[in-house]
Amino acid sequence: MAEIFSNISRIKYEGSDSKNPLSFKYYDPDRVIMGKTMREHLPFAMAWWHNLCACGTDMFGRDTADKSFGAEKGTMAHAKAKVDAGFEFMQKLGIEYFCFHDVDLVPEADDIKETNKRLDEITDYILEKMNETGIKCLWGTANMFSNPRFMNGAGSTNSADVFCFAAAQIKKALDLTVKLGGKGYVFWGGREGYETLLNTDMKFEQENIARLMKMAVDYGRSIGFKGDFYIEPKPKEPMKHQYDFDAATAIGFLRQHGLDKDFKINVEANHATLAGHTFQHDLRVSAINGMLGSIDANQGDLLLGWDTDEFPSNVYEATMCMYEVLKAGGLTGGFNFDAKTRRPSYTAEDMFHAFILGMDTFALGLINATKIIEDGRIDSFVEERYSSFKAGIGKKIVEGSTTLTELATIAEDMGAPALPSSGKQEYLQSIVNQILFSGLEAL
């Protein structure tokens, strides 16, 4: 088989002084940090759809990138060429996982039985490549948003026939995820939402989504799927309002329907910011509920109100992300670059630059987050900030051994309470800067 990215060799760690564009400056897979290698801390994944399928088309213009990989598009030969390209790409970058939707892998036929045959054939080929290279599947999913039949959603559709079709796709995608040894299975409810409440029975739609998810869990467990199911929240786009608005909403839904033992959250940075949160916020919400599962590592543009799916370059965000991940004891999933190169970055080399950027950004995030934790000033400040609840009446409140009446009496006897201690936000922000940029004085 001919090399596809023949002018690019394996990307190596060369350190921060290197000017070689095709090298890692910070991602050093074998470097040990807090008892684990960077590779173990950062199980990176390639998103099949963006990296091997998306060619730069947007609402106003057609493809800029050529991802035919030497084969005619829309054919099984092209599906195989994408596998060849994908595995060569991952090997050259040292990416250990991939994520896929069913329809990323093969051209969809009119008849689902024919699509499924194609999926069987391509996953046999993918499995061969996995065995040859040691590359693994992070998660699989079914695309239940592109085909016009899903215009009103999949679980939330008004058509029982479409609901059946969604079930068939989930069943097959679960079969494939198990076949490929995937660690997780994702539900991103792209069209599970509404355009107007004038035509929508919200309660019924949400109950139907839960019914579909329950059937998926039952089926998955029956075929030996031991991994996590994930909801990937997103507040809008393509729908005006999506039911899995953010981590808190999705967690409430999972608990309401008894799905919380089987599901965790797949937090996507750009989705969190679309919901009006920071990336760190949705990570924290997931973590404190024991549901931080996996991450779609990308970033948005805060000046734009849509999902730009950029490769992560923001070291502050990556630092706070890794701070949350380290504090939560790591992920059960991994870091999937659900990201695409910008439309004018259309060359094969740009695909490598993008992953180098993303991987180096998260390596920096990991190094910085470790420094913040080892420095300890932030954590001890937060600890100290709540110290009034460690003794006296504060302790009684936490232990549940007081009453509203006792507290009211204390308040009445105290006169005006002293102001709470300062939040010291600016001081804490300067600690973060000091930790991130120490060493620059050597210039």
Parallel, antiparallel or unpaired: strands 241-242 and 193-194: antiparallel
User: 7 with 22: CB under 8 angstroms?
Assistant: no
Q: Which is nearer to Co ion, 29 or 140 (CB)?
A: 140
Q: Which does 317 bind (CB under 5 to 8 A by kind): Co ion, ligand XUL, none?
A: none
Q: Does 183 bind ligand XUL (CB under 6 A)?
A: no
| Amino acid, single-letter form, for residue 310 | E
Parallel, antiparallel or unpaired: strands 228-231 and 193-194: unpaired
β strands within 119-223, DSSP E: 136-141, 184-187, 193-194
Q: Which is nearer to ligand XUL, 84 or 268 (CB)?
A: 268
Q: Which range touches Co ion (CB under 5 A), out of 37-45, 53-61, 117-125, 295-303?
A: 295-303
Q: Which does 205 bind (CB under 5 to 8 A by kind): ligand XUL, Co ion, none?
A: none
Q: Which does 234 bind (CB under 5 to 8 A by kind): Co ion, ligand XUL, none?
A: ligand XUL
The residue nearest ligand XUL at its CB is: 188
CA 37, 40, 43, 44: dihedral to nearest 10 degrees?
10
271 catalytically annotated: no
CA 380, 381, 382, 387: dihedral to nearest 10 degrees?
90
Q: How far is the CB of 163 from ligand XUL (least distance, A)?
A: 18
Q: What is the distance, to the nearest Å, from the Cα of residue 116 to the centroid of all Cα atoms in its chain?
A: 27
Strand partners, 44: 335
Region 305-344 residues binding Co ion, contact defined as CB under 5 A: 338
Region 84-143 residues binding ligand XUL, contact defined as CB under 6 A: 101, 141
120 catalytically annotated: no
Q: Does 264 bind ligand XUL (CB under 6 A)?
A: no
* Burial of 2 per CB tally in 10 Å (0-12, 13-18, 19+): exposed
Long-range (24+ apart) CB contacts under 8 A made by 371-374 are: 371/435, 371/436, 372/319, 372/323, 372/431, 372/432, 372/435, 373/34, 373/323, 373/326, 373/327
Q: How far is the CB of 336 from Co ion (least distance, A)?
A: 7
- Give the x-and-dash track for 374-403 against ligand XUL (CB under 6 A): ------------------------------
Q: Does 307 bind ligand XUL (CB under 6 A)?
A: yes
* Burial of 102 per CB tally in 10 Å (0-12, 13-18, 19+): buried
Region 23-82 residues binding ligand XUL, contact defined as CB under 6 A: none
Which of residues 228, 338, 341, 364 is near ligand XUL by CB under 6 A? 338
Q: Does 268 bind Co ion (CB under 5 A)?
A: yes
User: 313 with 359: CB under 8 angstroms?
Assistant: no
Which of residues 244, 296, 310, 360 is near Co ion by CB under 5 A? 296
Of 244, 240, 267, nearest in space to 256 by CA: 244
Q: Which is nearer to Co ion, 24 or 49 (CB)?
A: 49
Active-site residue (options: 104, 246, 338, 360): 104
Token duo for residue 325: 């991940």
Region 188-217 residues binding ligand XUL, contact defined as CB under 6 A: 188
- Binding residues for ligand XUL, per CB under 6 A? 101, 141, 186, 188, 232, 234, 268, 296, 307, 338
Catalytic annotation, residues? 101, 104
- Which residues lie near Co ion (CB under 5 A)? 268, 296, 338
